[in-house]
């Protein structure tokens, strides 16, 4: 992904950050399945070290993990999203960063959550994103990845009344599992669900993948 495309994505999320936070910060309240997967993740990493919620947006996933007893910080490309997250959860650390070039040392995280964090990343750049996640996880570290299922590329002209110029990628689980395996992950679970009601979320099937960096590296 070119630097120009990264800058465009950042600018788009900066533009919609206020409305995004207003509409989505409480979205987990209406998503019991998602809360269940996050609780499962939190129980697996609790008291083992630091977790990063990548593509954190307004920080709702980080907030849920924090409240579940996880030592977590959020990371997002958009400084305005980070500002929203910090305002909504001042007791959690949020940082600006790029998943394709993480400013983190090797083997530093016990876990990563990435809820729809890859939605704007083209397929050609996914291997780099997964390689970076693998690099910064400790041996035995756990990734929980969520994404939209399908083959579509959505290009909305606006979101919540604001003009946008971004691609939103729906992805095939078998392709994502293959890319994660190629990046060095061991797949522990892959779950799919139908969408909640239209007033709760966008109408797409969802996938949740638990993948682990092997404890002993070859």
Q: Transcribe 67-116 into DSSP letters.
A: HTT-EEEEEES-HHHHHHHHHH-TTSEEEE--TTS--S-TT-EEEEEEES
Compute the radius of gyration of the chain from its Cα atoms.
16
Domain spans of the chain?
Answer: 3-212
The pLDDT value given to residue 4? 86
**Domain covering 3-212 in this structure, CATH number:** 3.40.50.150
pLDDT of 131 above 90: yes
pLDDT of 218 above 60: no
CA dihedral 193, 187, 119, 126 (to 10 degrees): -160
pLDDT tens sequence across 90-107: 999 999 999 999 999 999
pLDDT of 216 above 80: no
pLDDT tens sequence across 31-90: 999 999 999 999 999 999 999 999 999 999 999 999 999 999 999 999 999 999 999 999
The pLDDT value given to residue 217? 53
Asked if residues 113 and 39 have their Cβ atoms less than 8 Å apart, the reply is: no
pTM: 0.94
pLDDT tens sequence across 137-167: 999 999 999 999 999 999 999 888 888 999 9
The pLDDT value given to residue 14? 95
The band of 3, judged by pLDDT with boundaries at 50, 70 and 90, is: confident
The pLDDT value given to residue 5? 87
Mean pLDDT of the chain: 95
The pLDDT value given to residue 192? 97
For 128, phi then psi, to 5°, come to -65, -45
């Amino acid at each position: 992904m070119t630097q120009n495309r990264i800058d465009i994505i950042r600018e788009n999320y900066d533009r919609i950050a206020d409305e995004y936070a207003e509409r989505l910060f409480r979205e987990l309240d209406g998503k019991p399945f998602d809360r269940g997967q996050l609780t499962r993740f939190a129980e697996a990493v609790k008291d083992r070290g630091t977790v990063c919620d990548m593509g954190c947006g307004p920080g709702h996933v980080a907030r849920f993990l924090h409240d579940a007893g996880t030592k977590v910080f959020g990371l997002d490309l958009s400084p305005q999203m980070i500002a929203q997250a910090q305002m909504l959860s001042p007791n959690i650390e949020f940082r600006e960063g790029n998943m394709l070039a993480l400013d983190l040392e090797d083997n530093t995280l016990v876990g990563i959550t990435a809820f729809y964090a890859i939605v704007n990343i083209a397929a050609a750049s996914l291997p780099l994103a997964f390689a970076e996640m693998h690099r910064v996880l400790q041996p035995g570290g756990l990734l929980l990845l969520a994404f939209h299922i399908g083959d579509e590329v959505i290009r909305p002209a606006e979101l919540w009344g604001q003009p946008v110029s971004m691609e939103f990628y729906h992805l095939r689980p078998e392709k994502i599992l293959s890319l994660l395996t190629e990046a060095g992950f061991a797949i522990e679970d892959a779950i799919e669900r139908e969408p909640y009601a239209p007033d709760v979320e966008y109408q797409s099937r969802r996938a949740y993948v638990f993948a682990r960096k092997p404890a002993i590296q070859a």
